Amino acid sequence: MSKDIHAIVIGANGLIGAELTKQLLEDETYTKVTLVVRRFLDLEHDKLETKIVDFRDIHKDWNVFVCDHLYYCLGTTKSKTPKSEEYQKVEYDYCINIAKIAHHNKVKKFLYLSSSGASPSSWFTYLKLKGKTENELIKIGFEVLHIFRPYVLIGKRSEIRFFESIVQFFLKIFNFMMIGFLKNIKGMPAGQLAKAMIHNAKLSSKGVFIHSNKSIHDFFPKK
């Protein structure tokens, strides 16, 4: 693995994106980390650059998406984006548009943050869009595509999500009991997921890899 890797993080202001950014900046393998964001982030580092783009008209920023590893963690919630059309744009259109540009720009490794239960046939809009996005990403044909399907994420968000905070509370208490097949519903610490994403990005294997909640936990079983 070359020690001269440029990573792009999309969704750096979210829970996983922020943790990924932190770990990537600390990782000597990565010499440059670019955050593609909608608004300025108050963050400085010698190997960090920030690109502010309009995701609604992403094609005018075509040349921004050139890197070795692209980490895609952008998402929204129904409460923040109640209109169905806008919700689909954020959860599906933005990702696929950027992925197609990145593939055209010869980005070889694309890492996508999905969700446990993602399926285009799901009754739940969120999981249905995640599944639809996964399928379309596979069709694009990246040399390496990693799809991560964590269950409930554990970590401190900049915004309060009431239902998720309740689930997090109970999972923190009972997480140690989640062994064997129960790892599929074991809470996923943000730091562990970010570490697993970076770990897999560095592997030389080619193809499409889908990582379940259990398999992500199994990367670092002592954590």
101-134 pLDDT tens trace: 999 999 999 999 999 999 999 999 999 999 999 9
What is the number of other CB atoms lying within 10 angstroms of the CB of residue 41? 16
Q: Which long-range contacts (CB under 8 A, 24 or more apart) does 50-57 make?
A: 55/90, 55/94, 56/89
- Report how far residue 60's alpha carbon sits from residue 105's, in angstroms, rounded to the nearest whole number: 14
Helix (H, G, I), strand (E, B) or coil at 31: strand
Instruction: Write the pLDDT tens digit of every residue in 156-168.
Output: 655 545 445 554 5
The pTM score is: 0.88
Name the nearest CA neighbour of 114 among 99, 129, 124. Answer: 129
- Binning pLDDT at 50, 70 and 90, where does residue 169 land? low
Instruction: Read off the pLDDT of residues 141-152 as tens digits, 9 standing for 90 and up.
Output: 999 999 999 988
* pLDDT tens digits, one per residue of 79-98: 788 898 999 999 999 999 99
All structural domains of the chain, each given as residue ranges with its CATH number in brackets, are 5-160+189-210 (3.40.50.720)
146, two tokens: 């990693």
Assess whether pLDDT exceeds 90 at residue 155.
no
